[in-house]
Amino acid sequence: MKVTVIGTGYVGLVSGVCYAEIGHEVTCIDVNQDKIAQLRKGKSPIFEPNLEELMNKNIHNGKLQFTDNYLDGIEHAEVILIAVGTPCKQDGTADLQFVESVAANIALYIKKYAVIVIKSTVPVGTNHYIGELIKKNLVHDTDFDMVSNPEFLREGTAIKDTFNGDRIVLGSDSSKALAIVEELHKQFNIPYFLTDTRSAEMIKYAANAFLATKISFINEIAKICEKVGANVEDVALGMGKDKRIGEHFLKAGIGYGGSCFPKDTKALVQIAGNVEHDFELLRSVIKVNIGQQQALIEKAISYFGDLSEKKIAILGLSFKPNTDDMRDAASVVITDKLISLGASVIAYDPVTIENAKKILNPRVTFNTNINEVMYDADCVFILTEWDQIKQIDLRVAGRLMKNPVFFDGRNCFTLEEAQRAEIDYFSIGRSAVIRNFD
């Protein structure tokens, strides 16, 4: 099948590469010319395990090409997938300007029947709105159908998720278009869930809002655990063994971040508001998450009293491991706050330092050597559970530091490991470990 993917970000690039891998002829379009030039040289602009290898394999076997020219991409396409960003505006609503711009280009260049699939996360009614927009502006007299196909891949495991997803959600009122999009995904061998367009659009927001709710819920439980002397890790394990609850997304920490949960939860609150429903529960989920980013700072203030002049080593900057994505990462808020409190901040991350430099406070300094970052520090903050961070020897690390004090926002170590290392160790939802000076 001839497939065109518009937008080569985390979703578009991974999807394009995976469609090529299962045998389709894929053209990826992006307006960012630097990105296209880089992709043509076989360099992935994002860090995603196995992406670059699979991309190069398919470029070399002629299944995958990149262009910034809409005409090249759209003219012959049987399926056109829209995977551009839908960031949130100031008021939380999804900004559809990139999707609208794609619609204008499709209307200009489409010459024969194609199925237009929206993969971007878009508010309910957007597929209908974009379909009407294209129809109104069509230059050539042709037919097309719209299909909503929300994307559920997770950064860090995006390739694996594309081949092993739990379901492929497809929403459309055209059975012809649905059959074509089912055929497109056939080789993935993943069950389809077919529904109407509005329900498909809603499934994506509802799924992300529910997962965000699980995270804020366990973070609230964590706060209570700290006060009553329970261990949130055990509480989550014990809860998760109940199949009705499930073990995933019950990891207490400094909250969710990234390019999806923060914006999609805010957008759903707005979608509800537009139909006069106050989504009180989701507003609380968002509020809890914002508060949770302060958890380590509060612990550090209560330990030291004052953070001015303290040298704080930050381990991990990306919003989660195995990605270089800094969008809505907790590290942005935390490093800003530490600097405003007078601390000096030095940061380590195994892959995202170049991205971090563009958005973190300019007073943050960086180093790719984890031991040098911890050297002479008053304390360490762990913000991302990269393997490289989980594998540090706490005892050795403690000896490098001025004070062996750890504030772990991702519960990377057991309390026993912290006790054995003779460090002061503060984590989320568990008792503090304090050195014994006897």
Ligand X SMILES: NC(=O)c1ccc[n+]([C@@H]2O[C@H](COP(=O)([O-])OP(=O)(O)OC[C@H]3O[C@@H](n4cnc5c(N)ncnc54)[C@H](O)[C@@H]3O)[C@@H](O)[C@H]2O)c1
Among positions 8, 65, 293, 331, the unique one binding ligand X when judged by CB under 6 A: 8
* CB of 28 or CB of 296, closer to ligand X: 28
**Where do we find the tokens 């563009």?**
358
Residue 88 pairs with which residues in a beta bridge?
A: 94
Interacting residue with ligand X among 4, 12, 265, 296 (CB under 6 A): 12
Which residues does the annotation mark as catalytic? 260
Positive or negative: CA dihedral 125, 131, 132, 134: positive
DSSP state of 239: H
Piece of the chain touching ligand X by CB under 6 A; list 23-31, 140-148, 308-316, 381-389: 23-31
| Rounded least distance, CB 331 to ligand X, Å | 18
Which of 21, 30, 233, 408 is in the footprint of ligand X by CB under 6 A?
30
* Residue whose C-alpha is closest to residue 413's, from 435, 396, 428: 428
> Is 30 annotated as a binding-site member?
yes
Q: How far is CA 130 from the centre of its chain?
A: 25
Contacts for 249 with CB less than 8 Å, ≥ 6 apart = 211, 214, 215, 218
Footprint on residues 114-153 left by ligand X (CB under 6 A) = 120-121, 151, 153
Read off the amino acid at residue 232: V
- Using CB positions, name the residue nearest to ligand X: 9
Nearest residue to 138 via CA among 176, 172, 119, 112? 112
Residue 277 three-state SS: coil
Q: Which is nearer to ligand X, 260 or 312 (CB)?
A: 260
Using rule CB under 6 A, residue 322 touches ligand X: no
Taking CB under 6 A as the criterion, the residue among 19, 47, 66, 98 binding ligand X is 98
193 marked as part of a ligand binding site: no
- For position 236 contacting ligand X by CB under 6 A, the verdict is no
- Work out the widest C-alpha separation in the chain, in whole angstroms: 85
The smaller minimum CB distance to ligand X, of residues 214 and 299, is found at 214
Note whether 259 binds ligand X by CB under 6 A.
yes
CB of 29 to ligand X, least distance (A): 5
- Stretch (H or E) spanning 282: helix 280-292
Report the distance separating Cα 139 and Cα 141, nearest Å. Answer: 7
User: Rounded to an integer, what distance in angstroms lies between the CA atom of residue 152 and that of residue 120?
Assistant: 10
- Which residues of this chain interact with ligand X, rule CB under 6 A? 6-12, 29-32, 35, 83-86, 98, 101-102, 120-121, 151, 153, 155, 259-260
Residues making up the annotated binding site for substrate are 152-155, 204, 249-253, 257, 320
